[in-house]
Structure 1
């Protein structure tokens, strides 16, 4: 009886243990399945998520370029987008005569300034020198030089009136940003457009001044007017001339004042009929530009290896410019001197001499 009871008890124990084992396996399987489903869900979320786009403040778009346009001189300059907010600074270049050291030409330098530039931490500008075509030719002929550097500016481009150039050794001090400017320039960012008119440069202004003073009977180097001034008045102010020559073909005597680079012609009565200047200021004037600015001359003659062009300033006075005669090697020579003439002052009625016309 007791043995039978023990067997029954053991049987139920085995049944219960079997049920517990089955339940445990079922829970295990459910947990593994849930874990697998969670992993798949996470991967799917990542694939469908929108990627974060960095803001422009932390990663600027340098591919979008901007353009500076100068309509006065006729050019455009492409800049990277990070130069938005740039400023323009204008200065002047000066052309120094090789002899005498006087300034004979000037022109603008237009500098594009980095928007990050400050007085405390300056950065490299992009300087663009502007030359008239005539000024550029004079620079190549070494009529004048710019700055202490032995090198000339390098041409960036040109249009119908101007040449645009980069100053020699513009970044000699290697300021902050100079490498960035070099990279900008390496992409040839300057493009020229047609200029509508020639802005008056120093040479054009000088020629206009010479004509204006000629109408008063004066040259740029002297306040002594022809016709109304006697040679005695000159000697009272300037003293004795360095030398005096009689020139029959020119109808009078000529006093040379080397200090003032002036020669004065006068007749027997002492009346001044001609004032001549070879000032260093004239060094920028070429034959072609004189004709371009002053127009077709009323007088144009080749005499003793020189080309002399003349203009009527008014009914009393004439303006003459004297150049070396053009050659194949120098077809556009630089002026030698110029003068203002009062033709009536060369007339000698007693000798029945009609005098000079030019």
Structure 2
């Protein structure tokens, strides 16, 4: 009986060892598969990251191109605007502005020979009674308006003419760009509550010229020649007008 037990035990031991080796082999195989799968997942993840980076780079390049294109477009518009502002004056416009300047140097306006510093009586003797007369505190004087002649004269207390305004309808053809192209950068500029843009130039040591534009169209409404120093009123302590 003892002799039979020994071989049986040996067989059982070998059987157990065989089963253990098989499980170990399968476990090792499964582990290897898991490692391979893990490596493949990491590889796929890296590929995805690379693809994302490439997409981001492409997007960035596209944005840069768009930005460059927009900048170029803005530059083109600015150049175009400058060309429009500085375009050459036509002969008729240039002649009108030249006449305005030459007459202003003499203290006069176009179409008439009335002079700054003269008496308003000289005007009344030639044109007759004014359409209206009113005192304008901001302008420092009395204004005599001759509507049928498109003229207005500002006078000090001694009835000397310190401002002559022309409301000639031909002036409506002029705009702000025309005037600035001919006369250059203004010595004076202001926008009033009446929606008027006024620019001024020193023409001589004594005389100045003012252009008044409607801010909705920037077409010239009227212009005037000015003799500021005779608006001074020492008796009232008023230094008078500068523009």
Name the TM tier (shorter chain). 0.5 to 0.7
CA RMSD of aligned residues (A): 1.6
Deviations along 1:91-135, whole A, 9 cap, x unmatched?
A: xxxxxxxxxxxxxxxxxxxxxxxxxxxxxxxxxxxxxxxxxxxxx
Partners of 2:208 and 2:237 lie apart in 1 by: 22
The answer to whether the 8 A contact 2:166-2:224 is kept is: yes
Larger radius of gyration: 2
Shift of 1:199: 6.4
Change (3 A) 1:295 1:233: same
Q: 1:275 aligns with which of 140, 155, 164?
A: 164
Change (3 A) 1:347 1:265: same
> Size of the alignment, in residue pairs?
158
The answer to whether the 8 A contact 2:142-2:154 is kept is: yes
Does 2:151 align with 1:262? yes
Partners of 1:299 and 1:286 lie apart in 2 by: 17
Deviations along 1:216-247, whole A, 9 cap, x unmatched?
A: 000113211011x1011111111110000000
The answer to whether the 8 A contact 2:89-2:178 is kept is: no
Name the SS for the 1:336 alignment partner: strand
Does 2:221 align with 1:336? yes
The answer to whether the 8 A contact 1:221-1:277 is kept is: no
The answer to whether the 8 A contact 1:221-1:279 is kept is: no
Deviations along 1:118-170, whole A, 9 cap, x unmatched?
A: xxxxxxxxxxxxxxxxxxxxxxxxxxxxxxxxxxxxxxxxxx68xxxxxxxxx
Does 2:232 align with 1:356? no
Q: 1:234 aligns with which of 104, 123, 127?
A: 123
Equivalent residue for 2:114? 224
Deviations along 1:245-293, whole A, 9 cap, x unmatched?
A: 0001101100110111000111111100000001012111001111111
- Superposed, 1:192-341 pairs within 5 Å as 198=88, 200-227=90-117, 229-304=118-193, 305-326=195-216, 330=217, 333-341=218-226
Q: In structure 1, list runs of 5 or more residues that go unmatched.
A: 1-159, 162-196
TM-score (norm 2): 0.62
Structure with the higher strand share, 1 or 2: 1
Equivalent residue for 1:133? none
Equivalent residue for 1:347? 232
Name the SS for the 2:96 alignment partner: helix
Q: In structure 2, list runs of 5 or more residues that go unmatched.
A: 1-82
The answer to whether the 8 A contact 1:221-1:260 is kept is: no
Partners of 1:306 and 1:354 lie apart in 2 by: 25
Partners of 1:301 and 1:220 lie apart in 2 by: 24
Partners of 1:221 and 1:342 lie apart in 2 by: 19
Shift of 1:200: 4.8
Partners of 2:177 and 2:142 lie apart in 1 by: 32
Partners of 1:265 and 1:295 lie apart in 2 by: 27
